[in-house]
Amino acid sequence: MTSTPQAARTRKSAEERRREILQAAARLSLERGLERTTMQQVADELGVRPGLIGHYFPSIDELLCEAFACAVTGERESLLPQADAVLAPTRRLGRLLHRLNGEDFVDFGRLWLNARHLSRYRPTLNAVVAEQEAIMRDALTAVIEDGVRTGEFTTPDPLGACLVILVAIDGLGTYANDTSPFTHPALDTLVFTTAERELGLPAGTLHDID
């Protein structure tokens, strides 16, 4: 009787294992919230022992801070993908705003809301949230500055326009946890009309971009 040899296991590098843990923690944080994500749950998700998670992330606070950064970095790359860099600034901004309105980004809205609340009590998370906000602020300001240079946008203060647009986005994000969302046409177009006003665009310019 001939036995079938078992396939040799491929040992993952430390970098691969760390990335895998972060991605699992980011997924769980999006689904359940940061405060409801534990090392045990991450271990269960990956089919490993909790001690392995602790080897790479000595504290749950460290893991969750990096998981949040991992999740929102993915969000930012989806909102402003590198492939869109060749597009005109108006089109890039319009596509970003349409993506934000999609169902795929509801969980990200909840995660931001969750992180900002918890960061009041967790200094390390507070620093990570501030850092990620600054990266997004710089990315959006860069799109607006490109639009000013090409003559598509009219604003004397690209950063100021960026801040107003982000405040409108964050304002709508505060409703992310509503189980029975309140809707109104004004809310459906709020971010678009705010951006159009700030950038000197005719009404409907950004909303009508596909």
What tens digit of pLDDT does each residue of 179-209 get? 776 778 888 899 999 999 999 999 999 999 9
pTM for this structure?
0.88
Spell out the long-range contacts of 170-177 with Cβ–Cβ below 8 A and sequence spacing 24 or more: 170/112, 172/109, 173/109, 173/112, 173/113, 174/113, 176/106, 176/109, 176/110, 176/113, 177/110, 177/113
Residue-wise pLDDT tens digits, 49-99: 999 999 999 999 999 999 999 999 999 999 999 999 999 999 999 999 999
Contact present, 42 and 24 (Cβ < 8 Å): yes
Query: What is the reported pLDDT for 210?
Result: 80
Could you give the CA distance from residue 76 to residue 128 in angstroms, rounded to a whole number? 15
Residues in contact with 46: Cβ distance below 8 Å, sequence separation at least 6, in sequence order: 20, 21, 24
Residue-wise pLDDT tens digits, 96-111: 999 988 777 888 999 9
Query: Which of these CATH numbers, 3.40.50, 1.10.357, 2.60.40, 1.10.3470, describes 69-198?
Result: 1.10.357
Query: What is the reported pLDDT for 185?
Result: 85
Query: What is the reported pLDDT for 3?
Result: 52
Residue-wise pLDDT tens digits, 143-179: 999 999 999 999 999 999 999 999 999 988 888 777 7
Tokens of 96: 């970003």
At residue 7 the predicted structure's pLDDT band, cuts being 50, 70 and 90, is very low
